[in-house]
Amino acid sequence: MSRVFNFSAGPATLPEEVLRQAAEEMVDWHGSGQSVMEMSHRGKEFMGIAAAAEADLRELMGIPANYKVLFLQGGASLQFEMIPINLLRGKGTADYVHTGEWAKKAIKAARIFGNVNVVASAEDKAFTYAPAQAGWKLDKNAAYVHYTANETIGGVEFQWTPETGDVPLVCDMSSNILSRAIDVSKYGLIYAGAQKNIGPAGLTIVIVRDDLVGKAQPTPPPMLDYKTHVDAESMYNTPPTYSIYIAGLVFQWLKKNGGVAAMERKNVEKSKLLYDYLGTTDFYRNPVNPADRSRMNVPFTLKDAALDEAFLKGAKERGMTQLKGHRSVGGMRASIYNAMPVAGVKALVDYMREFEKSHG
Ligand SMILES: *Cc1c(COP(=O)(O)O)cnc(C)c1O
């Protein structure tokens, strides 16, 4: 049996070691005589799995004690709504930075609940850059400032953390969480769907500073209130148990492989391989401002779109899949999250070079 190099944007490739361990533990987890999928979420086995996953995530990201970690469901998309519901706190206005497809969805959802002030937008250049903070028109009375750390579709990533003073900074880190070192204490809330850079779909991680919990006005229905999930330690209702278990295995894998710092070095190396090659050719094109290029998602177009199908077919024959770009931008996209080995990116660059030679 051989595995492909899977460049999917999400659900995305997982570390093979994690999959093998999960396979080994599938039928009988640690002598318990049952699969993790079959366990009560309130039993001591699963409570131990969830507690270890949280402790490992806290260690990996250096999450301070005054932050709560929640394991929720509903994807980043539910957070687009839960954030304004919980964090507007009667203030009425929130600041949003518009950087592309995902920011747009977050803005649209927030507008249901309050006033959204778009403080900066990259729309003038087709969302190919991250607007410098000097140009942001921040409102010091805003309830919070929201930005998208990595635009998964456009391939634009903030290489810096915004400074928002006393206004809580809220960040969608769905597609670059754990890919680089960050200072959690600069944020009011961080959220991420697990299916890009962590584990299976169905799990959403929310990291929230404790003073922001329980201040929603009006009080939301319980499932939409962070306070409910904080008070119940993410067990108000049945959590996505198997997804939490796999995420926990991924956290252990990250720790064994040098943690976030080592991943960041590897991600710099992998993305550089691709961008350096793209810089040498006119056959492929990446439209993003070089300083804002994503280390996680590398979109590129071929000189002639009529060659797209042949490119994808050849890639598949060489064991490389899911390179087709998002339908909104066309072309190709290579998603190269933590679990993508350097060998996968090398194989892709070799193939791109070969394809250019035979079709250029
Ligand atoms: C995938 C993605 C989302 C949407 O996630 P769902 O889990 O499908 O709701 C939101 N934001 C970013 C940056 C994403 O990459």
> Any binding-site annotation on 172?
yes
Torsion-angle region of 255 (φ positive above 0: left; ψ -120 to 50: alpha; else: beta): alpha
In angstroms, rounded to a whole number, what is the distance separating the alpha carbons of residues 104 and 293?
19
pLDDT in tens, the chain (360 residues): 689 999 999 999 999 999 999 999 999 999 999 999 999 999 999 999 999 999 999 999 999 999 999 999 999 999 999 999 999 999 989 999 999 999 999 999 999 999 999 999 999 999 999 999 999 999 999 999 999 999 999 999 999 999 999 999 999 999 999 999 999 999 999 999 999 999 999 999 999 999 999 999 999 999 999 999 999 999 999 999 999 999 999 999 999 999 999 999 999 999 999 999 999 999 999 999 999 999 999 999 999 999 999 999 999 999 999 999 998 888 999 999 999 999 999 999 999 999 999 998
Q: Give the residue extent of every domain in the chain.
A: 16-256, 259-359
Angle at the Cα of 279 (from 273 to 280), degrees rounded to 5?
A: 100
Q: Nearest CA to 114 among 140, 138, 77, 144? A: 144
Closest C-alpha to ligand 1, atom 5: 76
The rounded Å distance from CA 45 to ligand 1 centre is 30
In angstroms, rounded to a whole number, what is the distance separating the alpha carbons of residues 344 and 279?
19
Give the pLDDT score at 1. 62
pTM: 0.98
What one-character DSSP code corresponds to residue 238? -
Q: Which helix (H) or strand (E) holds 285?
A: strand 284-285
Q: Which of 29, 56, 68, 172 is catalytic?
A: 172
The rounded Å distance from CA 281 to ligand 1 centre is 32
Ligand 1 atom with least separation from CA of 76: 9
Determine whether 303 is an active site residue.
no
Is the shortest distance between the CB of 246 and ligand 1 below 6 Å?
Answer: no
- Per-residue burial over 230-258, b if 16 or more Cβ lie within 10 Å, else e, is beebbeeeebbbbbbbbbbbbbbbbeeee
Closest C-alpha to ligand 1, atom 2: 174
> Any binding-site annotation on 281?
no
> Any binding-site annotation on 35?
no
> Any binding-site annotation on 29?
no
Q: What are phi and psi of 41, to 5 degrees?
A: -70, -15
The rounded Å distance from CA 192 to ligand 1 centre is 7
The rounded Å distance from CA 197 to ligand 1 centre is 11
Q: Which helix (H) or strand (E) holds 261?
A: helix 259-278
Question: Is 205 in contact with 226 (CB distance < 8 Å)?
Answer: no
The rounded Å distance from CA 99 to ligand 1 centre is 14
Q: Architecture of domain 259-359 in CATH?
A: Alpha-Beta Complex (3.90)
Residue 172 β-bridge partners: 148, 191
Q: Which of 29, 56, 95, 196 is catalytic?
A: 196
In angstroms, rounded to a whole number, what is the distance separating the alpha carbons of residues 45 and 32?
8
Q: Which of 29, 102, 270, 292 is catalytic?
A: 102
Best probe residue, ligand 1, of 77, 294, 333 (max atoms within 8 Å of C-beta)? 77
- Which class in CATH covers the domain with range 16-256? alpha beta
Q: What are phi and psi of 325, to 5 degrees?
A: -70, 165
Q: What are phi and psi of 312, to 5 degrees?
A: -65, -40
Is the shortest distance between the CB of 175 and ligand 1 below 6 Å?
Answer: yes
> Any binding-site annotation on 304?
no
